[in-house]
């Protein structure tokens, strides 16, 4: 790797995401509640690579997309799932054994409302 480039999207992510000079990749990881908007990946621009096959080689400059770090996503989802109880989703139901109306399942977590109140649209 000639140049690891620079993280240019999203701009509000700590600079731990990216590609090191030795080529080690640190996948996109951030607390979703701290992001200004829903980011699905990080983009690193200006990555300079030398591609080699056999006796031939070529230098290229590329934009690289780094998806979410698997462990970060797994931990976040496990915590979110553990917080779901009958009391948080029951809506008008009073008994788990006798469900008479729709359950109100979580729509978003973190900085977003955990449950959208009935009659209110989910913001996009």
In degrees and rounded to multiples of 5, residue 72 shows phi and psi of -65, -45
The Cβ of residue 29 has, within 10 Å, a number of other Cβ atoms equal to: 19
State residue 117's pLDDT score.
43
State residue 39's pLDDT score.
73
pLDDT digits (tens, 9 = 90+) for 51-108: 999 999 999 999 998 888 888 888 887 888 888 899 989 999 999 999 999 998 877 6
For 74, the token pair is: 């797994």
How far is the C-alpha of 60 from the C-alpha of 10, rounded, in Å? 23
Provide the whole-model pTM: 0.60
Can you tell me which residue has the tokens 């992510």?
A: 13
Long-range contact pairs involving 18-21 (C-beta distance under 8 Å, separation at least 24): 18/42, 18/44, 18/66, 19/44, 19/47, 19/64, 19/66
Q: What is the mean pLDDT of residues 108-122?
A: 47
| Paired strand residues for 65 | 43
Are the beta carbons of 67 and 38 closer than 8 angstroms? no
Would the pLDDT of 23 be above 80?
yes
State residue 10's pLDDT score.
66
């Amino acid at each position: 790797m000639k140049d690891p480039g620079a993280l240019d999207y999203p701009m509000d992510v700590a600079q731990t995401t990216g590609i090191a000079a030795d080529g080690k990749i640190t996948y996109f990881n951030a607390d979703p509640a701290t992001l200004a908007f829903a980011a699905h990946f990080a983009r690193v621009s200006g990555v300079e690579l030398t591609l080699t096959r056999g006796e031939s080689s070529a230098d290229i400059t590329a934009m690289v997309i780094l998806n979410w770090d698997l462990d970060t996503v797994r931990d976040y989802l496990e915590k979110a799932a553990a917080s779901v109880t009958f009391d948080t989703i029951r809506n008008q139901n009073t008994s788990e054994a006798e469900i008479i109306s729709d359950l109100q399942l979580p729509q978003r977590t973190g900085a977003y409302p955990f449950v959208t109140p009935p009659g209110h649209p989910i913001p996009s």
